[in-house]
Amino acid sequence: MHDQVAVILKAIEFIESHLKEDISVAQIADAAGYSLFHFMRKFNQVVHHTPYDYLMRRRLTESAKALIRSEQRIIDIAQDFGFNDQETFSRVFRKMFQMTPSQCRKVNGIPFQFLLQAKTHAELKFINSDHFSTPLVVEEDDLTLLGLMTALDDNDKKAANLRKQVCDDFLSEISLQENAQIYEIEIRLNQQTGKRYCFVGAEKNQIQQESALFVSQTIHKGRFVKMEVPESELSLASAYLHTTWIPRVGLVENLEMTICSWKKEKSLKERALTILIPVK
């Protein structure tokens, strides 16, 4: 598999250097040194996208960035990335991002986690590893939690620090039963403003001592994509779910929240995390 990943990375590099050019899947296969049929099968196996789907999603991702970084007309950006007319561009853009190019510009961009970045060796190694756990679609009942919440900064590094701080604060405020399930939820209350919040909490019956600072948060009944990963692979798993697996199986994300949970265990060096993403 390592050799296959290395060959597919050559194809990905070729795609990256020709995003604004009229290239065919056959040309990408030639760059990777495969026959067309063999290449299409291997690419799908290793990347979990067809070559054409991957190429289109990379073009749409870069066009979404261009909408924010430049004042070019939408039709000019569309044509830069190989779309002949604005109507076609808007239709496929909306299908991928759940908003039109003009809406994207109005709200100042697509949330980073929904942008398909060029696949890296680490990502391909992750989804082709022996311990890779295939995501599941599950039904969950209403779940009401108690915990702490904070607003997140637009800066991703500051947001990560705030997440860690609210988690540390929650754990220092309470006494939890051993093996209690802890939930960290990123909440997006307003898609237009992009405001995000982080909640960390647990079920009331798992909390031995409550705090006056606690707020209530409900995860409503519905369908979720569920994936279990070690903490060290959380970012790889999240990127895979948002940009590859969920679109691949034809689901649409409910953009209001993303949930990550783990058990309070003292003995483990690395936490085993469960990711839950609500879908329609």
Kindly tell me the sign of the dihedral angle through the C-alpha atoms of 240, 244, 249, 252: positive
* pLDDT classification of 142: cutoffs 50, 70, 90: very high
Share of the chain above pLDDT 70, in %: 95
The reported pLDDT for the residue numbered 268 is 59
Query: Which candidate, 206, 190, 111, 112, places its Cα nearest to that of 151?
Result: 190
Average pLDDT rounded to a whole number, residues 47-70: 97
Is the pLDDT confidence value at 156 over 60?
yes
- Element (H or E) spanning 47, and its range? helix 36-47
**Tell me, what's the pLDDT at 157?**
76
Instruction: Kindly tell me the burial class for residue 115, based on how many C-beta atoms sit within 10 Å of its own C-beta (0-12, 13-18, 19 or more).
Output: buried
CA 173 to the chain's CA centroid: 31
Q: What is the pLDDT of residue 232?
A: 94
- Angstrom distance (rounded) from CA 276 to CA 108: 27
> What would the two tokens of residue 58 be?
């990379």
With a threshold of 0.85, does the pTM exceed it? Answer: yes
Q: What mean pLDDT do residues 160-170 have?
A: 90
How many Å apart are CA 218 and CA 123, to the nearest integer?
32
Report the pLDDT value the prediction gives residue 266, as an integer from 0 to 100: 66
Question: At 150, is the secondary structure helix, strand, or coil?
Answer: strand
What's the confidence (pLDDT) of residue 252? 92
* pLDDT for 265: 74
The residue among 124, 99, 156 whose CA lies nearest residue 11 is: 124
Give the pLDDT confidence score for residue 175 in this predicted structure.
Answer: 80
Confidence label for 112 from pLDDT (cuts 50, 70 and 90): confident
| CB-CB contact of 59 with 18 (8 Å) | no
Is 191 a residue whose pLDDT tops 90?
A: no
Residues 6+ apart with CB under 8 A from 63: 77, 78, 80, 81, 89, 93, 101
Query: May I ask the CATH class of domain 136-279?
Result: alpha beta
Domain ranges of the chain: 2-126, 136-279
What would you measure as the largest C-alpha separation in the chain, in angstroms?
Answer: 65
Q: What mean pLDDT value characterizes the chain?
A: 92
The domain over range 2-126 is classified in CATH as 1.10.10.60: yes
Residue-wise pLDDT for 209-267, tens only, equals 788 889 999 999 999 999 999 999 999 999 999 999 999 999 999 888 999 999 987 66
